[in-house]
Amino acid sequence: MIPFEPTHPDPASEPLRLMTVHAHPDDESSKGAATTARYVAEGHEVMVVTCTGGERGSILNPAMDRPEIVANLPEVRRAEMARAAEILGVQHRWLGFVDSGLPEGDPKPPLPEGCFALLDLEEATEPLVAAMREFRPHVVVTYDETGGYPHPDHIHCHEISVAAFDAVGDPDRFPGAGDPWQPLKLYYSHGFSKARLLAFHEAMTARGLESPYTDWLANWPDERPDPGLRVTTRVRCDEWFSVRDEALRAHATQIDPTSRWFLVPLELQRAVWPTEDYELVRTLVDSPVPEDDLFAGLVERVDALRAS
């Protein structure tokens, strides 16, 4: 049997492509949105994949808690997602799974039958493999093994993203999902590090402003590790923070415009923490860490090939 050689992209002959995989509509705007807006502005192609429709999400903006919105929440959230994608300039793909909801209580109730988090790993992975083989990303970004926070959909999103990255280049896996394609790098996003929150908190209090993170930091469990300690890659994208915020506001049922998302002035954010932060967990190219670019190693390869 002839050994399989996975298809690797030739970034000198085509645009660089980034795929971000998220659990619900609005996650793409609260996690890494300025990065995606930056890469779109630089001429790269970006696709956001959303696993579920957010059907079981709560309405978190009191101004949108109206009967006609509640009755049509799935359609409203699809429209919000379309608007956010337009603002960010990204392509968008729904995987079509059903939101699992966030179980609350002690004991927690069982997850609803047929929801995303209960789907078999192979069943849930195949549509993502198909999307990857069609879009052919060079770089994939998703959540870490905790999901960023312990929502069952976020955790399953992590699981299928890693499984798809490992399967997408193998012609023996999911043969009906398109021609094999091997992304070259896999990242986890780490937007809510304790160090970042503390930096904003201290900058706000030093300026005599009320910090929105006082309670959050006070309630951070001593045993909870700071995910920021895992960061390998910091992408400077402060020029696009305003685009990120506009995309967030597009998710009007989920984002209260008076909430803490918007209480830290943009000029302070740009001065204190001008990056969005990631952890490189798989790479098939030479890209020593720390990095300042998700395409690090690919860009150098482009330049070398074009110079030859």
Question: Is 179 marked as a binding-site residue?
Answer: no
Q: State whether the Cα torsion 14-166-226-29 is positive or negative.
A: positive
User: Averaged in consecutive runs of 10 residues, what is the pLDDT profile of the chain (308 residues)?
Assistant: 41 80 97 98 97 93 93 95 98 97 87 96 98 98 93 97 98 97 97 93 96 92 90 98 98 92 95 98 95 90 55
pLDDT digits (tens, 9 = 90+) for 73-93: 999 999 999 999 999 999 999
Burial string for 97-123 (b: 16+ CB within 10 Å, else e) reads bbbbbbeeeeeeeebeeebbbebeeee
pLDDT of residue 2: 31
Cα-based torsion angle of the residue sequence 61, 65, 66, 67 in order, rounded to the nearest 10 degrees: 140
pLDDT of residue 58: 87
Q: What is the CA radius of gyration of the chain?
A: 20
pLDDT of residue 303: 58
pLDDT of residue 236: 98
Amino acid at 1: M
What domains can be seen in the chain, in order of their start residue? 17-193+228-307 (3.40.50.10320)
Burial string for 271-284 (b: 16+ CB within 10 Å, else e) reads eebebbbbbbbebe
Q: At what angle do helices 121-135 and 152-167 cross, to 10 degrees?
A: 60
Question: Is 92 marked as a binding-site residue?
Answer: no
| Secondary structure class of 304 (helix, strand, coil) | helix
pLDDT of residue 66: 93
Whether residue 294 contacts residue 278, with contact meaning beta carbons closer than 8 Å, is answered with yes
pLDDT of residue 6: 43
pLDDT of residue 197: 94
CA–CA distance, 151 with 290 (Å, rounded to integer):
29
pLDDT of residue 107: 84
pLDDT of residue 5: 41
pTM over 0.85: yes
